[in-house]
Homo-oligomer: A and B are copies of this chain.
Amino acid sequence: MNVIGIDLGGSFVKIGILNNTELSGETEIQVEDNQSWNTLAAEIETEINTLVRKTGINQVDGIGLAFPGQVDSVNMRVLRTTKYLDAPSFDFPGWAERNWASPMVIENDARLACIGEWQFGSGDGSKNMLMVTLGTGIGSGVIMDNKIVYGRNFRAGNLIGHTILDYTAEPCQCGNKGCAESLASSWSLDQIIRKDPDYRGSKYAKSGNVDFKSVFNDYRNGKAIAERSVDYCLEIWSAAITNLVHDFDPELVVLGGGVMKSADIIMPQIEKKVLQRSWSTADEVSFRAAKLGNQASLWGSLYLLEEKQRSEACN
C-alpha cells in the first residue's frame, strides 16, 4: 500500500510517502500566517505530484491528513479550527478522488500521532494508551480497550491542553481559565520567562526571543532562570498528565512532540511526578518516549486507511 501523509503544522506542512511501510520520500512547505486552506491545497497537490514522480510509485492508495483542529473523521470534515479558516467547507475526499483517484482519511493531528505510535511506534501491544504531544500547544490522543476514543463530538481524549490546573488563573486563548497549555507550552513560555526574577538582564530580555530549545540548553548549563522555568513546566505537564491518567486509566503513557528533543530531562521527571500525584502505581502504568518523531501521523494514516479497506471489504 502506498500512502501519502500530510501533516499540517502552524509553520510547515510536512508531506511523506510510505511505500509498503518504507518511507520512500518526504518534503515540506512553509506556511504563511493566515494562509487559506484552498491556496495551500493547490501547493500541496503540486508537491505531492512531484514527490510521486520522484519516488516512481505507480499509484497512490490513500491520502491521510493530520489537521490541527477538531475533525469529524467519519464524515471527513473539519468541525472547528483557529487556522485555515476555510477548511470546514472543503470536500477532502472529493479532492483526493479528483487528484489521485484515492481514498482519504482526515484526523486531528495529536490523535493521528497517537494512532501511529499505538500501531507502529512505542505503543506496540498496549490496549489502553495515552499519547501527549508537547509542542506549540499540548495535544493528546487516547486508546481505550483497543479502540480510538472519539466521544460525541470527536473531542474526547484530545483536550489535555485545556485541562484546568489552576481554576482561578488568567484566561487561556480558548476562553477557559488556567488551562495546561496556557500555563506551560511553547506559546506561553515567553510569559513564564518574563515573570522570572532574573528576567531583566537575561539574554531572553535582550533578544526578545525565547524557545524551549534555548531554555533546555541553558538548563543543561545550570542557568537558574532556565532551571526554574523547566521545573515549573514539568510540574504543569505532570499535573495535566495526571488528570488524563486518572480519567482514562491507561497502562501506557507515550510522550512526543518537539519539546521531547530534551526527552532525557523530561521523561524521568514526568514519570516520577505523575506516579507521585496519581493513583496509578509503577506496576500499573509505564512511560515511554515516542519513537516515530514527526512521522507518527503518516503511520497513523496508514493504519486508518488499512482499517477503511478492511471495513469496506467486510461490507
Contacts and interface: CB of A to CB of B under 8 A. Distances in A.
A24 interface: no
A45 interface: no
A242 B279 contact: no
A165 B162 contact: no
Interface in A266-285: 276-280, 284-285
B128 A176 contact: no
Copies, count: 2
B128 A151 contact: yes
How large, as a class, is the contact surface on chain A?
35 or more
- Residue in A239, A280, A284 with the greatest tally of chain B CB atoms within 10 Å: A239
Contacts of A145: 150
A144 interface: yes
Contacts of A152: 127-128, 249-251, 284-285
Interface stretch (A59-67, A153-161, A292-300): A153-161
B167 A167 contact: no
A101 interface: no
A19 interface: no
A276 to B, nearest CB: 8
Given A144-B149, A248-B151, A249-B151, A242 B164 contact: yes
Given A153-B284, A279-B155, A163 B243 contact: yes
Interface of A: 127-128, 144-145, 149-157, 159, 162-168, 174-177, 235-236, 239, 242-244, 246-251, 276-280, 284-285
A144 B143 CA distance: 13
Nearest to A128: B152
A156 B128 CA distance: 10
B163 A166 contact: no
B162 A279 contact: yes
A131 to B, nearest CB: 14
25 contacts: A145-B150, A151-B248, A152-B249, A152-B251, A153-B284, A154-B249, A155-B249, A155-B279, A156-B247, A156-B248, A156-B249, A159-B246, A159-B279, A163-B163, A163-B247, A164-B243, A164-B277, A165-B165, A165-B166, A166-B166, A175-B276, A176-B242, A176-B278, A176-B279, A243-B243
